[in-house]
Chains A and B, each alone.
Chain A
Amino acid sequence: MISFFNPLLLLGILGAGIPIIIHLINKKKAISHKFAAIDFILQTEKRISVKFKLRQLILLILRTCLIIFLAIALARPFLKNFGGGVAEKNTPTSNVIIIDNSYSMQYADSHETLFTYAKNTAREIINNLTKDDEAAVITCSNKTLPVIPELDYDKKHLLDFVEQLQPGFATTSVTPALDAAIEILTSAKTPVKRIFLITDLTRNGWDVQWFRSGNEKLRNHVSRIHIIDLSGGKPLKNIAITHLEPKLELSERNGEGNIQVTVSNFSSAPVRNLMAQVFIDQKKVTQGFFNMDAHGSETKEFSFTLEKGKDHSGWIEIPGDNLTVDNKRYFTIHATNKINVLLVDGDPKTNIYESETFYLEKALNPGREHSSPIKPTVCSIQEINNILFANFSIIFLCNVETIPYEKIRELETFVKDGGAVIFSLGNKVDANYYNTSLSEFLPHRLHTTRTFSGNSPLSEEQPLSLKPAEPIHPVLRILSEADRTALSSAKFYRIFYVDPKVQGMSKTILSFSDETPAFIERQIERGRCILFTSTMDRDWTDMPIKPFFLPLVQQLCRYLSGGAGEEGQNEIIVKQEWQSPCPYDMEKIEITNPEGTKTIVQPQLTNNEKSFLYSETYMPGFYAITIDGKPHPQFPSYFPVNLDTVESNLDKIEQKELTALMGGINVTITTSRESEGREVLLGEARKTLWGTILFLTLCILCIESFISRK
């Protein structure tokens, strides 16, 4: 039975009418001429007319055949099941076509990408199926995407799906795809079950361990595996940016940006003077040259100046090669100002160690001034009138007895504009004053103090300790497990009880061992207030001298300033999940991918923690985070997503190795990118005819030109 790889091209046979039409037109166009000596023409014609007409007829037939044969040859005919003797002959088959859509398939030769070849191959396979054959199409990047998860008889349906396939940005993962294929074929009722794997055969996609158990499954459920290596069996060379680490050093005016870049050469030839360019905020800021030996890599640092107070996005780029997608890598740097924190000491002492804010200041800025992203400023309550709150991001009011009325109003504006205020209590705090004058800030009304055992002879009970409130507040996420456990090591001898009734939108961050709130957060418009029901010095607790105190207060500041001060966002890899803690009052954020597709992300509760999870990181680039269309101070403006560089290494798995892995399985491997090589594979018992027809066409052309010139 004759079939065609490109049956649409058979329409070209219609072109056979052209010579006939031309013949008829020429005949019509023949001019008339009245001629006296027509007898001689007739005599001549008698002799040559038959020859002439025969010649014309032969030429017409040859020209018609030429077009018909050419159209047939282009449609690439073949004899199906020609002298085969293969099991599949005349037997319905079930087929799963696995198309490797990992980013290495974007490798392009001078004509097309491997992925385009893969799609063409899939089309050929589908076109070769008979009406009794069924097929499914799946992809095999690191997350197997079943395009047609069920076997389908409708070729058009299958072809439409193949047409819609796009190359991905993930890594190859053959074995899950094989698992999926086995699952699909298990339900098939046909006697012949085949898997077509169309791939570049890069080594990284093959999980050798899987074959220990997978081999048996393949043997039991699959009649034959056809592997089509689109790389043509040749090694593929590639140069890629394999690592990128941005850093930021803060100075008073501008930030010093620094990026460490590793470029790897995945080819057997050395690479010299490869230029890498660094772009920040769409502008080229620096460049450098890489020299790499064969299969080597080089790491370089690029430095640049960043304007403080804003987020910066950038990328590094190397010149294009056959695989361009891994020649660019993205990063963001959050070069915001240092967090200015005002510490209002309500109980300053001559002896500095006894001052209310001593431990707090040290915890916020433990070393040299410029080494911490937090810049604390200490003042007494008397000095508060000379200070403008707007110059600070966070204000600690530590054991403050009273606050001037004007400053309370200023504090109100400060908080509503996005500032944060933390009230820590102490012996100078009057609950009535706080409950009346500062009630708009407090998450709970203050009640009375209570003293526990310890140094105080008045104590009746054991001192309290701290424990995280459920769910875990984002502030505590940075604390290690050890630090979280260590929370219980702090002893609280005296605390303020608060009214159970919550004021406004409040949330407990930490509570005492008796379940009374210790750190309580309240959202007030764009700002926050935190009430700590004990002291920040050692008067009522030993917490300031505990190891977790420093990370706790620093993280508290970072959290309250919207995450500012972090050196950079951890790199997200394509298809990795992006996660960010959810402020308790936030209901949704919007994430816009590099193609401009906006996704509304709602918080999810995982491990007792409310977080935003976004898993649609299908492509590299910058993903914008917005709330109601605008950036939010609690989130970076963007997060970068980059490729997994494992896929950049295009080293191939050897055919011998592959055959060994699939021992006992009926495997055919073809390395041809062009169809003729695959035809043997596709048809098993199939004879191609187009070569012969093309030869015949050429012969006809020669005969035609010989006869027409004669």
Chain B
Amino acid sequence: MPENPFDPVTLSKIANMELRARLVVDGVLSGIHKSPFKGSSIEFLEHKEYSPGNEIKHIDWKVHARTDKYYIKEFEEETNLKCYIFIDTSGSMGYKSTGISKLEYASTLAASLSYLLLNQSDLVGMVSFGDKIVQYIPPRSRITHLHVLLNTLTTLKTGGKSNISGILNEFVEKIGRRSLVIIISDFLDDIKKIIHQLKYFQVKKNEIILFHILDPYELTFPFETITYFESIEDDRRILAEPKAIKERYLAELNRYLEQFKQSCLENRIDYWLINTTTALDQSLIKFLARRESASRPFHKG
């Protein structure tokens, strides 16, 4: 039986990130009619008193009728969608039980999304971060920008603690209105702080999509023998009997996931939980299909 080309492990064997992205996106697009990402075209910004030189076509006649003065409508520059992909490179993203690490999965996902967006001439920027910003690539729409993004994704290395809320805080002012903010992380952080920060983005009418990447071992905790669990991000170490704590661990995890999902739902944040063993095309297809069918952020159930 031939290997599934979208299997994360199979994809990870493809060294070229562009090839990976193309493989995923082409496969995905063949099943979707049009891009689900809709950028703003002409956006009304404010009224301005007419002055000579202004185009007459921009005079708001309704206002003139009411006020008997000439005002012209001022519009925002017409642009394509501006997307910021935040990719978490903290130490915990390097965890892999089998197959590929969360960062590898996240990188391929980010590459695929970048490819997809750039293909429709949207602007794509990227932020990689741990406890601080590792690399920031401002959004561009040129297709050659894809190479910059992919090269960055290829060279990402894990390290440091995760500080999502802090990073987001830094970008609240930098990111303009009506942008798409995609955060790919394992979100092993304080979710209250994260949600709190994301609300600032929402104020600016930014759309937020969270890809929550977790390893199957983190989701199922299949350990058997007594084990020293060591933190990847710091030097914490604990001896535990997995059988004894499994039930409690899963309960804690599910409580956290449920809380996270609920918070996202309440705040109209698109939330996607992805297991690193899930085929990337499947993840994307499901995600894009639902976005296409929904006008507002769709929350994966």
Interface membership of chain B positions 236-248, coded 1 if the CB is closer than 8 angstroms to chain A and 0 otherwise: 1111110011001
**A40-B253, A52-B244 known; A45 vs B238 contact (CB < 8 Å):** yes
* Selected contact of A44 from candidates B94, B228, B233, B248, CB within 8 Å: B248
From A27, A29, A38, A55, contact of B238 by CB (8 A) = A38
Q: Are the C-beta atoms of B249 and A36 separated by less than 8 Å?
A: no
For A40, list chain B residues within 8 Å (CB). 249, 252-253, 256
Residue contact B253 to A37, C-beta cutoff 8 Å: yes
Report yes or no: A26 in contact with B245, Cβ–Cβ below 8 A. no
Do A37 and B225 touch (CB < 8 A)?
no
CB-based contact A36/B92 at 8 Å: yes
The answer for the CA separation of A42 and B218 in the assembled complex, in Å, is 14
Known interface pairs A33-B223, A43-B252, A47-B248; A38-B230 also in contact (CB < 8 Å): yes
Q: Are A32 and B230 also in contact (CB < 8 A) when A40-B252, A40-B253, A47-B248 are?
A: yes
Chain A residues within 8 Å of B238, by CB = 38, 41-42, 45
Interface residues on A, range: 20 to 34
With A34-B232, A39-B188 as given contacts, are A45 and B245 in contact (CB-CB < 8 Å)? yes
Task: Check A660 for interface membership: any CB of B closer than 8 A.
Answer: no
Interface membership of B135, Cβ < 8 A: no
Residue numbers in A under 8 Å from B226 (CB-CB):
26-27, 29-30
Residues of A contacting B252 in the complex (Cβ-Cβ under 8 angstroms): 40, 43-44
Residues of A within 8 A of B91 (CB): 36
Q: Is A48 an interface residue (CB 8 A)?
A: yes
In Å, the complex CA distance between A31 and B244 comes to 16
Contacts of B75 in A (CB 8 A): none
What is the predominant secondary structure among interface residues of chain B facing chain A?
Answer: mixed
**Closest-CB distance, B230 to chain A (whole angstroms):** 5
Residues of A45-81 at the interface with B, using a CB-CB cut-off of 8 Å, are: 45, 47-49, 52, 55-56
Query: Does A35 touch B at the CB level, under 8 Å?
Result: yes
Is the CB–CB distance between A30 and B225 below 8 Å?
Answer: yes
Assess whether B215 is interfacial by the CB under 8 Å rule: yes
Which of chain A's residues has its CB closest to B94's CB?
A: A36
* Interface majority SS (helix, strand, loop, mixed), chain A: helix
**Cβ of B186 under 8 Å from chain A:** yes
Q: What's the nearest-Cβ distance from chain A to residue B101, in Å?
A: 10
Residue of A nearest to B101 (CB): A36
B231 interface residue, CB < 8 Å from A? yes
Contacts of A33 in B (CB 8 A): 223, 227-230
**Given A41-B240, A43-B252, is A36 in contact with B186 using a C-beta cutoff of 8 Å?**
yes
Residue of A nearest to B236 (CB): A38
Minimum C-beta distance from B108 to chain A (A): 18
Smallest CB gap from A35: residue in B:
B229
Q: How large is the interface on B (under 10, 10 to 19, 20 to 34, 35 or more residues)?
A: 35 or more
Does B102 make an interface contact (CB < 8 A)?
Answer: yes
- Chain A residue numbers with a CB within 8 Å of B256 are 40
Which residues of A are found within 8 Å of B218, using beta-carbon distances?
35-37
> Min CB distance, A441 to chain B, in Å?
105
Bound-state CA distance A47–B244 (Å) is 12
Contacts of A55 in B (CB 8 A): 244
* A31 with B95, Cβ < 8 A, contacts A38-B230, A45-B238 known: no
For residue B191, give the distance in angstroms from its CB to the closest CB of chain A: 12
Q: How distant is the Cα of A32 from the Cα of B232 in the complex, in angstroms?
A: 12
Q: How far is the CA of A672 from the CA of B95 in the complex (A)?
A: 71
For B94, B228, B229, B253, the residue with the greatest tally of chain A CB atoms inside 10 Å of its CB is: B229
Write out the residue numbers on chain A whose beta carbons fall within 8 Å of the beta carbon of B232.
34-36, 38
Pick from B233, B238, B240, B249 the residue with the most CB of A within 10 Å.
Answer: B240
Chain B residues with Cβ under 8 A from A27's Cβ? 226, 239
**Contacting pair B186 A45 (CB below 8 A):** no
CA distance A52 to B238 in the complex (A): 13
Q: Are B239 and A41 in contact (CB under 8 A)?
A: no
Could you tell me if B240 and A52 are in contact, using CB atoms closer than 8 angstroms? yes
Q: Quick check: B231 and A38 within 8 Å, CB to CB?
A: yes
Cα A32 to Cα B238 with chains together (Å): 9
Closest-CB distance, A53 to chain B (whole angstroms): 9
Chain A neighbourhood of B244, CB < 8 A: 48, 52, 55
Q: In this complex, what residue of A is CB-closest to B237?
A: A32
Within 8 A of A (CB), among B242-301: 244-245, 248-249, 252-253, 256
Specify which chain B residues have a CB less than 8 angstroms from the CB of A41 in the assembled complex. 229, 238, 240, 245, 249
Closest chain A CB from B241 CB (angstroms): 6
A:402-449 near B, CB below 8 Å: none
A440 CB → nearest B CB, Å: 105
How far, in angstroms, from A42 to B232 measured CA to CA in the complex?
A: 14
Complexed CA–CA distance, A55 and B91 (Å): 33
Min CB–CB distance B143 → chain A (angstroms): 35
Contact between chains at B245 and A35 (CB < 8 Å): no
CB-CB nearest in chain B for A39: B188
Instruction: Tell me which residues across on chain B come within 8 A of A45, comparing CB atoms.
Output: 238, 240, 245
Query: Which residues of the other chain, B, contact A34 by a CB distance below 8 angstroms?
Result: 95, 230-232
Give B216 Cβ to nearest chain A Cβ, in Å.
12
B-chain residues with CB within 8 Å of residue A42 when the two chains form the complex: 236, 238
Q: Which residues of B contact A47 (CB under 8 A)?
A: 248
A50 nearest CB across to chain B (Å): 12
Say how far A583's CB is from chain B's closest CB, in angstroms: 90
Residues of B within 8 A of A48 (CB): 244-245, 248
Determine the distance from Cα of A30 to Cα of B241 in the docked complex, in whole angstroms: 9
Is there contact, CB below 8 Å, between A32 and B228? yes
Q: Of A31, A44, A47, which is in contact with the most chain B CB atoms at under 10 Å from its CB? A: A44
Give the interface centre of A29, A30, A36, A40 by most chain B CB atoms within 10 Å. A36
Alpha-carbon gap, A396 to B91, bound state (A): 128
Residues of chain A within 8 A (CB-CB) of B225 are: 30-31
- By a CB distance below 8 angstroms, the chain A residues around B227 are 30-33
Residues of B within 8 A of A56 (CB): 241
| A48-B245, A49-B240 given; 14 more Cβ-contact pairs under 8 Å | A30-B239, A31-B227, A36-B92, A36-B233, A40-B256, A41-B240, A41-B249, A43-B252, A44-B252, A45-B240, A48-B244, A52-B240, A52-B245, A56-B241
A sample of 5 inter-chain contacts (CB < 8 A) reads: A32-B228, A37-B92, A39-B188, A44-B252, A47-B248
